[in-house]
Amino acid sequence: MTKKNDLLSIGKVSKLKNVSIKSLRYYDSIGILKPAFVNLETNYRYYSEDQLYLVDAISLCLKLGIPLKNLTDYVEGDSINLQKLFYDCKELAERHISDIRSSFEELQSALNKYSPDTGLVKLTVSERSAIPAKENPEVTSAYAMPRNERTLLLVEMDPEAEPASYGQYILHLFVKAQMLALDAGYPSGIYYDYDHFERKRYMFLTVNSVFSENPSDPFSEQSIQEKIREEAEFDKHSFRLITLPAGTCFVNELTAHISPADLPQGDSSRILPPEMAKEVHDPSPWFLEVDVMDEVLKNKGVLYFLEYPMF
């Protein structure tokens, strides 16, 4: 039996393992890391040195994308099946290593293609303006377009973010996608959230992953959502994973980025051309500015699509 004098306070464990006290309390609440001793007078938690390996195991699971709730699957009575956890973590790590290796190969290919000598690739800086006016108000490029269900990985943008900084948000998304073992790519763009009439901007990447239908599987959408929530306190940026339903969108071709300064605050439908806005019965809580991937359209000056859902 461990002597009380040999126990480590929750603050000591937090410093030793670089884990927040809040996280240690959470691990206790879900039953995966119970303190060895609790002072009933102060409710202070104390841990034995023999428990530190479990803190390392939990941190590894977080890094590999195993939801913490799944750790209870390895508990057998008063023991934990460390061998099974080890093999499962090893299998996931090998998947991550394979994904990272593929990403490095793609980056190396891009480097060889665009800048084999200096390693410098010039960034594209888009102009900042409102939706361009038409020379003839009767003529519009707006049309209806059916869209399949889409899953997007989002990162919240600073309200004052300028186009020159948009590439940084894309980089944050790719790094986060890699950490979550998500197959994220293009098209990308900006997601405008008007929920509760508060406008926010998020940079997004399209997620092409096929999620497991088993909620307890690390690669299910529910498990990844939980991992994002668990890591929120450690992330410098606010990430979200959302799924947009299938349906028809109003689409308008844009020659430049939408200017946030010119956007309406409360009614998102006011962004639409008049002939489209009159067909909207209830304003949507979101719309998209999507990067154009078609080189033919780009050559014609169409760089982005405004997509507004029809309900």
pLDDT digits (tens, 9 = 90+) for 121-144: 776 654 544 444 444 334 446 778
Q: Tell me, yes or no, whether 281 and 186 share the same domain.
A: yes
- Give pLDDT, residue 302: 87
DSSP H helices in the chain: 10-17, 21-29, 52-64, 82-114, 166-179, 221-230, 274-277, 295-299
Same domain for 267 and 153?
Answer: yes
Q: How confident is the model at residue 151 (pLDDT cuts 50, 70, 90)?
A: very high
Is residue 123 in some structural domain? no
pLDDT in tens, 18-52: 888 888 888 888 778 889 998 888 888 899 998 89
Closest by CA to 95, choosing from 178, 33, 32, 164, is 178
Strand partners, 241: 153
How many CA atoms within 13 Å lie on the side-chain side of 31? 12
pLDDT surpassing 60 at residue 258: yes
Cα–Cα distances in angstroms (integers) from residue 1 to residues 29, 36, 39, 50, in the given order: 24, 10, 17, 11
Q: Is residue 236 part of a domain?
A: yes
Average pLDDT on 58-70 reads 79
Max Cα distance, the chain (Å): 85
Q: How many other β-carbons are positioned within 10 Å of the β-carbon of residue 132? A: 13
Can you give the residue range of the structural domain that contains 240?
A: 143-309
**31 token code pair:** 């039953």
Q: Do 297 and 148 belong together in one domain?
A: yes
- Residue 250 · residue 310 · CB < 8 Å: yes
pTM of this structure: 0.56
Amino acid 290: pLDDT:
94
* Average pLDDT in the chain: 81
Is residue 107 assigned to a domain? no
Stretch 101-117: mean pLDDT: 81
Instruction: Indicate if the pLDDT at residue 209 is higher than 60.
Output: yes
In Å, how far are 12, 60, 179, 226 from 222, measured between CA atoms? 33, 19, 16, 6
Give the integer Cα–Cα distance in Å for 51 and 36.
8
Cross-sheet strand order for the sheet of 45-47: 8-9, 45-47, 37-38
> What secondary structure does DSSP assign to 243-297, as a single string?
EEPSEEEEEEEESSB--GGGS-SS-GGGGS-HHHHTT-SS--SEEEEEE---HHH
Q: What percent of the chain has pLDDT over 70?
A: 91
Helix (H, G, I), strand (E, B) or coil at 32: coil
* Chain centroid to CA 15: 28
Q: Are residues 203 and 275 in the same domain?
A: yes
State the Cα–Cα distance between residues 227 and 184, nearest whole angstrom. 16
At residue 152 the predicted structure's pLDDT band, cuts being 50, 70 and 90, is very high
Q: What is the pLDDT of residues 213-239, one digit of tens each?
A: 777 777 788 888 888 888 877 777 889
Q: Which of 27, 150, 2, 148 is nearest to 80 (CA)?
A: 27
Q: Tell whether 113 is covered by a domain.
A: no
What CATH number does the domain containing 148 carry? 3.20.80
CATH of the domain at 76: 1.10.1660.10
The closest alpha carbon to 75, from 108, 31, 118, 37, belongs to 31
User: Would you give the end-to-end CA distance of the chain in angstroms?
Assistant: 65
